[in-house]
Chain A
Amino acid sequence: MTQFLQLDLAAMLAATFACLVCGLIGNLLLLTRQSLLGDAISHAVLPGIVLGFWVSGSRAAPPLVAGAMLAAVAAALLIALLRRLTRLEAGAAMGVVFSGFFALGIVLIEVSGAHAVDLDVDCVLYGQLEALIWPAASGPGSLLDPAALAEFPAETTTLAVVLLLTLALLAAFWKELRLACFDPDFAQAIGFAPRRMSLLVLVLVSVACVAAFWAVGSILVIAALVAPAAIARLLTDDYATQFGLSAVAAVAMGAGGYWVAALAPAAFGLGHGLNAAGMIAVVAGVLLAVAWAAGPFGRRRRLALAGGSD
């Protein structure tokens, strides 16, 4: 038990919270048909995170979030500017901007010396769940012991705060977001600013990307953003159920992925642990495949449609 508290609790909670935050926000992306925005932002925030880390010299959340938001907004503006100036299609403009930003981030990590401390390319690629440990824990009693709790990894507590904020925002804008998702034209017609809403989504996604960065890195966060919403979408048509199911899927992939990564090596006699962040994406893939094969809107519906048209 003590070993679980020391080595696994913080990391597992971080994985679960990260998947929950991203998965809930991912619903907005999927329903507003902007899944690629998550792809673009997750790459584009990297130089912002590196700069925030470089300037503040710590993993404290506010500078990183500020840097990431700056980078996300800059990338969004650049994409819009490029599309106006060059008449490139959206995908190409995004490709230019986010690969450029990502390359800048990688080079910044190397030249800024950030890699000497806590932030290195491996963290960007694979996340750092394994680094989230709680050595101060000495038993179940530590969960109530303020002195031990003060040593709890800040990354996990930050994620918990971000999760609460996300839930509060979703609750506050529940109806408005539903309108913006399902009937953007009507939303605009009744004087409801879709631009402000898309800015809100942009900010939320960049916050989620930073919050999940230490847990799963900048590429696997895309799985956390898109997969839960996509799984739920294969299972339901209802707005509230969509959010509920995506939350379930997010917890399953976060906690489940972490556990499989922790347990599978012993079960299969592998000498080396498996990467937990990668395993989270693998579990998401398995859940997606099951939902697609067995869900009411996946393969079965395709077969029914194909049968009907024959």
Chain B
Amino acid sequence: MTVADALLFSAGYNAAVVALGCAAFGLAAGALGCFVLLRGRALIADAAAHATLPGVAGAFILAALIGWDVRALPLLLAGAGATAALGVVLVNALAGGGRIRDDAAMALVLSIGFGIGVVLMSVVQSLPVGGQAGLKGFILGQAAGMSAADAQLVGALAVLALLLVGVLFRPLAALCFDRGFAAAVGLPVRALDLALLGLMLAVTVAGLRAVGLILVVALMVIPAATARLLTERLEAMVPIAGGVGAVSAWVGAALSATLPDLPTGATITLVACALFLAALLFAPRRGALAFAARQAMLSLTVARDHALRAAFEAAERAPGATHRWVELGRGAGWSRWQRAVLPRWLAAAGWVRAEGERIALTDAGLALARDLTRRHRLWEHYMQAAGGLGPWAAHRAADEVEHTLPPEVAREAEAWLRRNDPARLPAEGALPAPGEAPTAPR
């Protein structure tokens, strides 16, 4: 079997059902994870997931003692759900005293619950029945050993959780964004919190067999965090997170089905991490590249503004003044890469024209430079009049804000000057008198 076979459902009926079941689980985990993340419940989900181990092992021991089928997935999952719920209750009880904070309570329930499970697992090893090896799959996930019936159960649980998320979408969204508001408009917030907790436990339990209890929380957190990078709207975030979860679970399960040494949970988590890293780099607004591009553009614009202002002030003193790039750039504090880029940009945009060895502002460049200079002087006046700064400090302060604050704020500042210190502001359209500040930028 190759990876392609496993991905395209052509590796046999059982493998196809398992892949679909895993994908359904990923879909539900990703979608629900958005609410879990926004409500700040990611870590309690982790604690609950680790606390499923005693339930799984306990159910196995119980089944072996009564003589039931120890491999019956519904029984093992029921045990898992029971101890996970108990774990959540214990976190609240421990943290309720105010002596142990909830982060410590979660760490305690997580580790002690897991420890009890580990001891029970060593008891399981001594039982005279078969099937012990399968239990280890609950810790790190082993999709390869799943039967079609197991996968159908997981898929059914996932679809059920997904349907409930769909039905409760609005109230859950209200709960996650503003619990106080949700309570004020009459939503039963306590019941909703419980419902979210219940859904979280159901999805956790559904994922145990495929992803394993240690990493099941990864499939709630990572897809939701990925979607958060791509959108701000919950209506888009939930489907994106579901999609990321489904793709990770499907690809990860296929990879681990072909390379049986790889624990499924770890493989699925790494696929989800890869998608997260891709989003972190390439997300259109919050991505690292978009962030770097915005920073570069801002620093380029600032450098351009400085140069144009210097050129304009030269033109005020002597109309038609010409410049050399070297001096202009040095005066405006251009860095090396800015010296390479900015002359091309200024020329291509038609703001400067060449005059032999030297350059001069075009009419369009003059108009832009005039606007920029006006904006700068306006801020200088504002800083002096409203902020009481001296000329040099006002110049520096204006330089700090003029490139980043939006134009409507600049208009507010202008309106303030017009009301409170109109002498600083000549007639509409005219340029304020040159600030007393030295005009060299920076």
B-contacting residues of A (Cβ < 8 Å)? 30, 33-36, 38-39, 82, 85-86, 88-89, 91-96, 99-100, 102-104, 106-107, 110-111, 121, 125-126, 219-223, 225-227, 229-230, 233-234, 261, 270-275, 277-282, 284-285, 288, 292, 297-299, 301-302
Closest to A216 in B: B115
Residues on B with C-beta less than 8 A from A274 are: 119, 122-123
Tell me whether B404 is interfacial, beta carbon within 8 Å. Answer: no
Of B38-46, B74-82, B384-392, B434-442, the one touching chain A: B38-46
Q: Is the CB of A281 within 8 A of B121?
A: no
Report the bound CA distance from A198 to B228 in whole Å: 29
Q: Shortest beta-carbon distance, A264 to chain B, in Å?
A: 9
Contact of A85 among B46, B265, B288 (CB under 8 A): B288
Q: Is the CB of A281 within 8 A of B116?
A: yes
Residues on A with C-beta less than 8 A from B218 are: 95-96, 99-100, 103
A-B contact sample (15 more), CB < 8 A, given A103-B215, A111-B262, A282-B119: A36-B43, A36-B106, A36-B107, A91-B40, A95-B42, A99-B221, A126-B118, A219-B50, A219-B110, A223-B114, A226-B108, A226-B111, A230-B104, A277-B118, A282-B112
Q: Shortest beta-carbon distance, B234 to chain A, in Å?
A: 15
Report the bound CA distance from A285 to B140 in whole Å: 24
Report the bound CA distance from A234 to B266 in whole Å: 37
Q: Shortest beta-carbon distance, B138 to chain A, in Å?
A: 11
Q: Which 6 pairs from chain A and chain B are nearest by CB?
A: A281-B115, A278-B118, A272-B126, A99-B218, A223-B111, A103-B269
Specify which of B94, B112, B115, B224 lies most central, judged by the most chain A CB atoms within 10 Å of its CB.
B115
Q: Is the CB of A280 within 8 A of B115?
A: yes
Q: Is the CB of B121 within 8 A of A278?
A: yes
25 interchain pairs, CB-CB under 8 A? A36-B107, A85-B288, A88-B37, A91-B42, A92-B221, A92-B224, A92-B225, A96-B273, A99-B222, A99-B269, A103-B266, A103-B273, A110-B262, A111-B261, A121-B140, A219-B50, A219-B110, A223-B114, A230-B104, A270-B126, A278-B115, A298-B99, A301-B97, A301-B99, A302-B96
Q: A86-B225, A95-B217 are in contact. Are A103 and B108 (CB under 8 A)?
A: no
Q: Is the CB of B118 within 8 A of A220?
A: yes
Q: Shortest beta-carbon distance, B96 to chain A, in Å?
A: 7
Tell me whether B293 is interfacial, beta carbon within 8 Å. Answer: no
Residues on B with C-beta less than 8 A from A121 are: 140, 263
Residues on A with C-beta less than 8 A from B291 are: 85
Q: Is the CB of B97 within 8 A of A85?
A: no
Q: A86-B280, A96-B225 are in contact. Are A278 and B122 (CB under 8 A)?
A: yes
Residues on B with C-beta less than 8 A from A111 are: 261-262
Q: Is the CB of B114 within 8 A of A234?
A: no
Residues on B with C-beta less than 8 A from A30 are: 104
Contact of A102 among B94, B107, B214 (CB under 8 A): B214
Residues on B with C-beta less than 8 A from A39 are: 43, 46, 106-107, 110
Report the bound CA distance from A270 to B94 in whole Å: 33
Q: A92-B37, A95-B46, A103-B215 are in contact. Are A86 and B286 (CB under 8 A)?
A: yes
Q: Is the CB of A33 within 8 A of B103?
A: yes
Tell me whether B267 is interfacial, beta carbon within 8 Å. Answer: yes
Report the bound CA distance from A304 to B196 in whole Å: 32
Q: Shortest beta-carbon distance, A236 to chain B, in Å?
A: 11
Tell me whether B125 is interfacial, beta carbon within 8 Å. Answer: yes
Q: Is the CB of A103 within 8 A of B270?
A: yes
Q: Shortest beta-carbon distance, B91 to chain A, in Å?
A: 12
Residues on B with C-beta less than 8 A from A226 are: 104, 107-108, 111
Report the bound CA distance from A298 to B114 in whole Å: 23
Q: Is the CB of A89 within 8 A of B222?
A: no
Residues on A with C-beta less than 8 A from B266 are: 102-104, 106-107
Tell me whether B276 is interfacial, beta carbon within 8 Å. Answer: yes
Encode B220-251 as 1/0 by CB contact (under 8 A) with A.
01101100110000000000000000000000
Mostly helix, strand, loop or mixed at chain A's interface?
Answer: helix
Residues on B with C-beta less than 8 A from A279 are: 115, 119
Report the bound CA distance from A285 to B118 in whole Å: 13
Specify which of B100, B117, B217, B288 lies most central, judged by the most chain A CB atoms within 10 Å of its CB.
B100
Contact of B263 among A33, A106, A221, A225 (CB under 8 A): A106
Q: Shortest beta-carbon distance, A160 to chain B, in Å?
A: 24
Q: Is the CB of B111 within 8 A of A86?
A: no
Residues on B with C-beta less than 8 A from A85 are: 280, 286, 288, 291
Residues on B with C-beta less than 8 A from A86 are: 225, 228-229, 280, 286
Q: Is the CB of B100 within 8 A of A230?
A: yes
Q: Is the CB of B37 within 8 A of A220?
A: no
Q: Is the CB of A38 within 8 A of B122?
A: no
Within 8 A of A (CB), among B85-104: 94, 96-97, 99-101, 103-104
Q: Shortest beta-carbon distance, A234 to chain B, in Å?
A: 6
Residues on B with C-beta less than 8 A from A106 are: 140, 263, 265-266
Q: Is the CB of A227 within 8 A of B112?
A: yes
Tell me whether B18 is interfacial, beta carbon within 8 Å. Answer: no
Q: Shortest beta-carbon distance, B292 to chain A, in Å?
A: 11
Residues on A with C-beta less than 8 A from B262 are: 107, 110-111
Contact of A233 among B43, B99, B112 (CB under 8 A): B99
Q: Is the CB of B286 within 8 A of A284?
A: no
Report the bound CA distance from A227 to B107 in whole Å: 9
Q: Is the CB of B99 within 8 A of A99?
A: no
Within 8 A of A (CB), among B138-188: 139-140
Residues on A with C-beta less than 8 A from B286 are: 85-86
Q: Is the CB of A284 within 8 A of B269?
A: no
Contact of A36 among B103, B112, B126, B261 (CB under 8 A): B103
Report the bound CA distance from A117 to B227 in whole Å: 40
Q: A219-B114, A288-B112 are in contact. Are A302 and B228 (CB under 8 A)?
A: no
Q: Is the CB of A223 within 8 A of B108?
A: yes
Closest to A99 in B: B218
Closest to B110 in A: A222
Closest to A272 in B: B126
Q: Is the CB of B263 within 8 A of A223?
A: no
Residues on B with C-beta less than 8 A from A95 are: 42-43, 46, 217-218, 221-222, 225
Residues on A with C-beta less than 8 A from B103 are: 33-36
Report the bound CA distance from A6 to B217 in whole Å: 41
Residues on A with C-beta less than 8 A from B261 are: 110-111
Q: Is the CB of A220 within 8 A of B276?
A: no
Specify which of B122, B263, B280 lies most central, judged by the most chain A CB atoms within 10 Å of its CB.
B122
Q: Is the CB of A272 within 8 A of B123?
A: yes
Q: Shortest beta-carbon distance, B282 to chain A, in Å?
A: 13
Within 8 A of A (CB), among B256-280: 261-263, 265-267, 269-270, 273, 276, 280
Report the bound CA distance from A126 to B121 in whole Å: 10
Closest to A224 in B: B111
